[in-house]
């Protein structure tokens, strides 16, 4: 399989229009257009009965002690963990593309409900990130774009991966997560393809 996008180039920076936040000279960051990018795929194997899509940041800090603090920087040697930005499953087998902004445009405080019939969307990890924030706390489903710490010492990598599956519907319910989807897909993946974009809000990394 091959996954492509008119908006993204594999291994290159993600345009700010597809991010949750962009740099701001006064406040470090500000909310952005937060559109889901258009995606296209080809080469699905015979027997494909549905598709699933995950967008995962594989460079999220494992602890938040230094994140977004003036005069400090998230160290490069800090262990990194996955952070889910999009969990989309049960796409019909004839699907070969997703349109820009069809699933997300703009930042929705407290989160979007996501799709729950036909294609379904799971919980992304902003649900945990914003927990405790009185203005933003809620259940975030569907796509929400990059917003790495503005003082992180590493550029983040975002893997958009399309999976061709041999089942019509994955066995997950309710507020399911990317981890639950990955577990449910075990033994059902016929093929997959990944497109990776990068993103940083750290000034010194953006200027190199």
Confirm whether 96 is domain-assigned: yes
Number of domains in the chain: 1
Element (H, E) at 182: helix 178-185
Confirm whether 125 is domain-assigned: yes
Opening angle at CA 176, ends 136 and 113, nearest 5: 45
Phi, psi (deg, nearest 5) at residue 30 = -145, 155
Confirm whether 113 is domain-assigned: yes
Quick one: tokens of 165? 């599956």
State the pLDDT at residue 206: 86
Tally of helices (H runs) and strands (E runs) in the chain: 3, 10
Confirm whether 51 is domain-assigned: yes
Confirm whether 156 is domain-assigned: no
State the residue range of the domain holding 178.
2-151+163-206
Quick one: tokens of 134? 């009185």
Confirm whether 157 is domain-assigned: no
State the pLDDT at residue 208: 56
Weakly modelled stretches of the chain, pLDDT under 70: 208
Give the whole-angstrom CA distance, residue 71 versus residue 31: 22
State the pLDDT at residue 72: 93
State the pLDDT at residue 190: 98
Phi, psi (deg, nearest 5) at residue 128 = -80, -35
Confirm whether 158 is domain-assigned: no
Helix/strand/coil for 47: coil
State the pLDDT at residue 77: 96
Quick one: tokens of 81? 């963990």
State the pLDDT at residue 81: 98
Q: Order the strands of the 2-4 sheet from edge to edge.
A: 2-4, 39-42, 97-98
CATH code of residue 136: 3.90.280.10
Give the whole-angstrom CA distance, residue 121 versus residue 143: 9
């Amino acid at each position: 399989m091959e996954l492509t996008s008119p908006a993204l180039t594999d291994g290159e920076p993600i345009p700010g229009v597809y991010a949750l936040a962009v740099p701001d000279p006064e406040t470090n960051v500000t909310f952005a257009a937060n559109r889901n990018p258009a995606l296209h795929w080809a080469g699905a194997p015979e027997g494909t009965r549905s598709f699933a899509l995950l967008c995962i940041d594989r460079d999220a800090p494992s602890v938040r002690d230094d994140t977004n603090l003036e005069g400090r920087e998230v160290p490069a040697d800090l262990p990194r963990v996955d952070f889910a930005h999009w969990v989309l499953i049960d796409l019909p087998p004839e699907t070969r593309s997703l349109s820009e902004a069809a699933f997300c445009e703009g930042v929705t405080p407290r989160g979007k409900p996501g799709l729950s019939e036909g294609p379904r969307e799971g919980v992304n990890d902003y649900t945990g990130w914003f927990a405790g924030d009185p203005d933003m706390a809620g259940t975030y489903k569907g796509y929400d774009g990059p917003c790495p710490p503005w003082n992180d010492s590493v550029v983040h990598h975002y893997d958009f991966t399309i999976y061709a599956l041999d089942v019509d519907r994955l066995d997950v319910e309710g507020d399911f997560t990317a981890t639950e989807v990955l577990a449910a897909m075990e033994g059902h993946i016929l093929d997959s393809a990944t497109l990776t974009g990068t993103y940083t809000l750290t000034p010194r990394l953006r200027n190199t």
